[in-house]
Amino acid sequence: MTQNPTPKRMREYNSRMHDANNAERTQRAFLALAAGHQAGHLPPILADLRTRQEAFQLMRKSLKHAGYYEVFEDDAYANTSPAAVALQQLVDGTATAADQAADEAREKAERIRRLEDQLRFADIPGFFPTPAATIERMLDRAQIAPGNTVLEPSAGTGSIADAIKARVPSLPDGPGVLVMCCERMTRLRDILREKGHALTEADDFMEMPAAGEFDRVLMNPPFEKQQDIDHIRRAFDHLKPGGRLVAIIGAGAFSRGNRKATEFREWLDRSGAMIEDLNGAFSTPDAFRRTAVAARLVTIDKQPADTPPAPVTTPKPRPMAHKSRRQVPEEAAEPTIPPAESPSNATPSIPMAQPSRGGMSLVAKYRPTTLSAIIGQKPVVDALRAFSRAPAPATFIFAGAPGVGKTAAAEALAADLGCAGDFGGLTEIPSGTQDGKAVESVLRSLRLTPMGGSGWKVVIINEADRMTEQAEAMWLDGLEHLPAKSVVIFTTNNLSRMTPRLIRRCEVYQFDSTSDAFRQAMEAFVAEAWLAETGELLPAIPEGLGKFELGSDDYSIGLALQQIAPYIRTGEPLPASFSPPIIRSAYGHGKATPAAPKAIPNPLPGKSTPPRDDATALPHRSFCRVCRQWAKKGSVMRPTSDGGWKHAAC
């Protein structure tokens, strides 16, 4: 297809291929009929077969619809009448071994093409398979020889691995080439298996142990948020001494002025890398998905006797105007880019966005787009990765404090399943908009096949504890009969506000916001964001960074980024501490730090009574210090010794 592929053009192409296949089957039927007639063993039921149309009707296969534009040929014959079965068996009986092998190869190629077409219009971050002309250029630079071991990270559909096997085939009397593919997305791994490529045990390249075991690494890494730099540095560690790395990289790595890009260019200079322009490589007619992004080709040799180059010296950070109570963890003060000699078990750094002073908030810029980028939630991430490798219709509840990555994790899981955008199978419901009519519309959409993507449908309902009773009742009924390839994810900031009936229907994942490990991960992430935005190390972490509420142990990554954003814009040093934005009074909801309220008379001798802001406030508006819930109207409350209230039953 030389034109820019669109869903409509792909439908027309598949329909014409289906017509051609039916015509070929009809032609083979006539050849089989002629051979049977000459041999004198033509079945009697076929003796009256005369016209092409009759043979066509007996041998045709149907066209199945998986979406508005997605069509493909059915594997079974459409006609199962006795005459049709007799003719089909006659054709199969006269087929030679070569014909059968050709049919199997054609069916396999059709399955692969169908899987690839399902991803052609999916909004998958960083998914731009390498065009054929660029692959040939990479192979020329790689100089792969028989007996070499080759790694293709972020293999996608395996186009580079296909070309390697075609150029350096495995010979019967000599060694071939062992090509290993690493791919994170489940649907792409299915395509690689269908093509017969060997897969690495680890599906996330940045978590794959590097032991210097490959002669060649050829790669087309994702460009978003400078991931290409991280992937290339990591791939170099997988090379044997004397090995060669050939990689495509975004042109932004050679024009950005931030520290990560600068250190990367210096590392390329020390390594003696060869750099070539790939002008318009991804906008050619043979590109699987077209983009105008500029790219370059980098070739690096790992010298046999060389010791890895030392990392660039870190510039001395700007002195802070205060003395902090807690120092930045040592690991957070390291440069964002790991040096080339990093050990294989080193933890990969957090992907950073391109530094920018405007156009996007820090929270949006550093919002995770993959499961591996979710901070401080390893048990949840591991469980979701296992699910994405073997998905099935399911319902989840993601519970936890605000700003810990619940919605981002849900969106990352959807991307792993091949869903993205309104027409790619992903539907996101804003908080507070779940009523009966909205649920009815969503449940209807789950029974439809998306126009693009992998066919999976993911619905994310934010702050599901705010849905109406009618909406919950409809969900309870709908979850009993969840359609195939459907995943529903409810998020909530407080699991106790959801009813037990709904909780029992779901797999519940509690996101951490209180542990020391989460707080340290948050502080390390903030330190890296500060470094990426300012180019300077953060020597100390302010007290109260990311702490959402006075008296609570919950921390929020989103809040921490919001707290440092004004100081990044103004260039001012961070303060010694941040005050929690929420201080809950005994009556009324949390609010920004108020003026000291007036005390009220103590109605119970020996019991302290909390102050209140409003003399007309009623006890049913109290906040329970035990279950940490606001009391409903008519609740019986008792005062506590620390000046608060609690439910009588707590």
Given the structure tokens 């076929």, which residue do they identify? 46
> 250, 283, 301 — which closes off a domain?
301
CA distance 557 to 522: 6
Whether residue 502 sits in one domain with residue 594: no
Residue 541's DSSP bridge partners are 326
The DSSP result for 488-513, as a single string, is EEEEES-GGGS-HHHHHTSEEEEPP-
56 and 142 inside one domain: no
Structure tokens at 270: 């020390």
pLDDT at 301: 93
Q: Are residues 75 and 21 in the same domain?
A: yes
264 residue type, one letter: F
User: What is the pTM for the complete model shown?
Assistant: 0.45
Please report whether residue 155 resides in a domain: yes
Contact 516, 553 (CB under 8 A): no
| Same-domain check for residues 146 and 280 | yes
The CATH number of residue 420's host domain is 3.40.50.300
Do residues 153 and 279 both lie within one domain? Answer: yes
73 in the same domain as 113: yes
Same domain (yes/no): 230, 142: yes
Contact 463, 498 (CB under 8 A): no
Q: What is the pLDDT of residue 322?
A: 35
**HEC assignment per residue over 398-433:** EECCCCCCHHHHHHHHHHHCCCCCCCCCEEEECCCC
Q: Are residues 386 and 500 in the same domain?
A: yes
Domain range for 597 is: 583-650
Compute the distance between CA of residue 372 and CA of residue 208 in angstroms, rounded to an integer. Answer: 12
3-state secondary structure (DSSP) of residue 609: coil
Geometric angle at alpha carbon 72, from 69 and 75, rounded to 5°: 160
* Residue 636 pLDDT: 74
Residue 177 near residue 147 (C-beta atoms within 8 A): yes
Structural domains of the chain, count: 4
Low-confidence spans in the chain with pLDDT less than 70: 1-7, 66-70, 72, 95, 118-126, 169-176, 285-286, 288-290, 292, 305-360, 420-423, 431-434, 550-551, 581-623, 625, 628, 630, 632-634, 641-644
How much is the pLDDT for 359?
A: 53
Q: Is residue 188 part of a domain?
A: yes
Cβ-count burial 586-600 (b if 16+ within 10 Å, e if not)? bbbebeeeeeeeeee
Geometric angle at alpha carbon 32, from 28 and 34, rounded to 5°: 115
In a 13 Å sphere around the CA of 645, the CA atoms on its Cβ side amount to 25
In a domain, 112, yes or no: yes
Angle at 301 between CA 299 and CA 305, to 5 degrees: 170
Q: Give the residue among 98, 77, 101 at the shortest CA–CA distance from 29.
A: 77
Is residue 492 assigned to a domain?
yes
Report the pLDDT value the prediction gives residue 643, as an integer from 0 to 100: 62
Nearest to 510 by CA among 391, 627, 383: 383
**Does residue 601 lie in a domain region?**
yes
Same domain membership, residue 141 and residue 113? no
Which of 301, 330, 355 terminates a domain? The answer is 301
Final residue of a structural domain among 68, 89, 120 = 120
Rounded CA gap, 491 and 505, in Å? Answer: 14
Q: Is residue 2 part of a domain?
A: no
Biggest distance spanned by C-alpha atoms of the chain = 114
What sign results for the dihedral spanned by CA atoms 26, 29, 33, 39?
Answer: positive
Written in H, E and C, the secondary structure of 35-99 is HHHHHCCCCHHHCCCCCHHHHHHHHCEEEEECCCCCEEEEEEECCCCHHHHHHHHHHHHHCCHHH
116 shares its domain with 198:
no
- Indicate whether 538 belongs to any domain: no
The answer as to whether 170 is a domain residue is: yes
* 225/149 same-domain check: yes
Whether 153 and 295 share a structural domain? yes
Looking up residue 193, the CATH number of its domain turns out to be 3.40.50.150
Q: State the CB neighbour count (10 A cutoff) for residue 647.
A: 17
